[in-house]
């Protein structure tokens, strides 16, 4: 992507999101096929754990799709809330960057869980994805070392941070109450405390 915009997030994430949803539906088709062969019920029962994992994964992907759609103006999220919302979008963005030919994204720690009253439920996960995409596209994925510590995300680059102010402002507009600081080779995003589950 040459210029960052709010549309950059769905443009980047949708191909990987659709690919992973296709994988999930293929798994379900496979389980259905088991039930159609002689003795398939026993095999189905043996693989019930895989079915549960696949169903959970599809539920997460459904949340991610709802966030991406809602950020583009179609309110697919409605009243749905997801405590692991930041983690779901963060992990999808990591997979997107790694599948685009970039190297492994260096991350320590895990995103915090969202509080039930965190804005409308989609903005904070979306902003985490948008910030990671923009920083990686602007300076290269391998430049960054990311660390989650509670409600704070810190990115350290191997050179002074150079990010587009307009892109950062567009991201922060979606998450009023958070703070973003650039200082030399570091970027710090502080989420509002009320957005994070205690």
pLDDT at position 68 = 86
The mean pLDDT value of the chain amounts to 85
pTM of the entire structure?
A: 0.79
Assess whether pLDDT exceeds 90 at residue 134.
yes
Tokens 């009023």 belong to residue? 176
Identify the architecture of domain 8-195 in CATH: 2-Layer Sandwich (3.30)
Band (175; pLDDT cuts 50, 70, 90): very high
Q: Which long-range contacts (CB under 8 A, 24 or more apart) does 23-30 make?
A: 24/54, 24/57, 24/58, 24/61, 25/58, 27/51, 27/54, 28/54, 28/58
Burial of 136: CB neighbours in 10 Å, binned 0-12, 13-18, 19+? buried
Please name the residues in contact with 5: beta carbons below 8 A apart, sequence gap of 6 or more: 167, 170
Residue 98: the pLDDT is 87
Between 32 and 60, the more confident residue is 60
Q: Are 153 and 147 in contact (CB under 8 A)?
A: yes
Label residue 53 by pLDDT band (50, 70, 90): confident
């Amino acid at each position: 992507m040459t210029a960052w915009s709010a549309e950059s997030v769905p443009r980047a994430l949708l191909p990987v999101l659709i690919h992973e949803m296709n994988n999930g539906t293929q798994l379900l088709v496979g389980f259905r096929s088991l039930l159609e062969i002689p003795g398939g019920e026993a095999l189905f029962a043996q693989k019930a754990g895989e079915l549960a994992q696949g169903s959970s994964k599809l539920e997460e992907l459904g949340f991610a799709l709802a966030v991406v759609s809602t950020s583009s103006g179609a309110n697919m999220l409605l009243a749905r809330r997801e405590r692991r919302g930041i983690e779901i979008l963060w992990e999808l963005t990591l997979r997107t960057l790694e599948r685009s030919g970039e190297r492994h994204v260096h991350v320590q720690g895990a995103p915090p869980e969202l509080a039930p009253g965190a804005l409308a439920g989609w903005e904070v996960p979306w902003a985490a994805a948008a910030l990671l995409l923009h920083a990686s596209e602007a300076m290269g994925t391998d430049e960054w070392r990311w660390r989650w510590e509670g409600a704070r995300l810190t990115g350290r680059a191997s050179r002074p941070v150079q990010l587009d102010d307009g892109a950062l402002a567009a991201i922060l507009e979606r998450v009023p109450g958070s703070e973003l600081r650039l200082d030399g080779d570091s970027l710090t995003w502080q989420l509002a405390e009320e957005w994070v589950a205690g």
